[in-house]
Amino acid sequence: MIYKKLVEKTLEFNQLNDYDLILETILSETRKFLNADAGTIYVKKGNKLKFHYFQNDTVLSNEDEGKIHRFSSLKLPINDESIAGYSAKNKKVLNIPDVYELDKNLPFKFNKAYDLSNNYRTKSVLTIPITDSNNSLLGVMQIINKLDPDCKTEKVIIPFSEEDEKIILKYFAVQAGIALERAMLTREIVLRMVKMAEMRDPKETGAHVKRVSYYSAIIYENWARKKGIPEKDILKNIDILKTAAILHDVGKVAIPDTILKKPGKLTEDEFNIIKLHTIFGARLFENATQPVDIAAKEIALSHHEKWDGTGYPGFVNDINECNVENICSKPKKGEEIPLFGRVVAIADVFDALVSKRVYKPAWSIEESVKIINNGSGSHFDPLMVEAFNATINKIKSVLEYFKE
């Protein structure tokens, strides 16, 4: 029975496209199968391991804003001095019953800093290197503090077994490598498209689109949970949204440089031409059949719509015939605006407000949040604004992590 569930989960991993979501899902599902209290993912960046995502049921509740610890600047050298570094360097699984009782002859040590600052006790740790099809290192996963399933009233920590190692190596670690390798290829293709837009529009930076992608996923997840949408559907939609949102302004590649790079205020005619980037972006995905492409078309076309119907481009009968004269022939308002468009609208505006532009300085987070709230019911979907407010600490973490 357990192996049937493992096969089902590995199939789910391979249906995901987003690199970060794959990492989070693999970590959480591995912990569930091994009944572990906590876990950490490191990704390889150059010759170091970057602390990428952290889960801990004792320290962090499901709604704890600290869960955004995945956005951290902590890095470890890939060498023999730390447990994760040793596992990465030697591509070796380490199964340690108690990290406080390490043999003094071992080259690596356990860093107690996290335990001391969070009043936590790390004990059993299973550390697994994640590699691609060429056996190149992608990262390291650590599963922390296996809990005794027979103890229902308290958390009793026990060592990980040899069977646990086999489960991890045969299913999760191998499938993680396959899924991550595929996701990295997808991400590179998408970011190349963004790079093309960035060459044309100095505002369309890689950091900007990544922030918009993460903001959008965070806002949507909060909204969806409040709506009672099934977790499986939420996961699928986040996976689609995170990739599609990156491409929200890709249509700007078709806008003349004289307008895109103009430092001053645009004339009415110039702004009408700018509006066409929504149409041009949708045209790139005109014959879309895959969910991500369909969502990218929807977002490109609708992320400048407004809740009260004063946005653009409105209802478009034929994206190939749309031009400056008929771009806003019939407005969209309220829930006529596609869901993902309503999410990205907030994410895009917020990031524009807190970012420096040639025509304005960066506004403070407080000022920017106030503007978003003032736009509730006019510019933005009120329920999406509620979700934005509920997740503002996570959004701040993204802003800090993906600096220009």
d(Cα 67, Cα 144) in Å, to the nearest integer? 16
Give the chain as a 3 state SS string.
CHHHHHHHHHHHHCCCCCHHHHHHHHHHHHHHHHCEEEEEEEEEECCEEEEEEEEECCCCCCCCHHHHHHCCCCEEECCCCEHHHHHHHHCCCEEECCHHHCCCCCCCECCCHHHHHHCCCCCCEEEEEEECCCCCEEEEEEEEEEECCCCCCCCCEECCCHHHHHHHHHHHHHHHHHHHHHHHHHHHHHHHHHHHHHHHCCCCCHHHHHHHHHHHHHHHHHHHHHHCCCHHHHHHHHHHHHHHHHCCCHHHHHCCHHHHCCCCCCCHHHHHHHHCHHHHHHHHCCCCCCHHHHHHHHHHHHCCCCCCCCCCCCCCCCCCCCCCCCCCCCCCCHHHCCHHHHHHHHHHHHHHHHCCECCECCCCHHHHHHHHHHCECCCECHHHHHHHHHCHHHHHHHHHHCCC
Given the residues 44, 123, 242, 252, select the one marked as catalytic: 252
d(Cα 299, Cα 343) in Å, to the nearest integer? 9
Q: Is 44 a catalytic residue?
A: no
- Amino acid letter, residue 194: V
Q: Is residue 331 packed enough to be buried (19+ CB in 10 Å), middle (13-18) or exposed (0-12)?
A: middle
Q: Which residues pair with 376 in a beta bridge?
A: 380
Structure tokens at 137: 């290192």
Structure tokens at 8: 């089902």
For the annotated catalytic residues, the residue numbers are 252
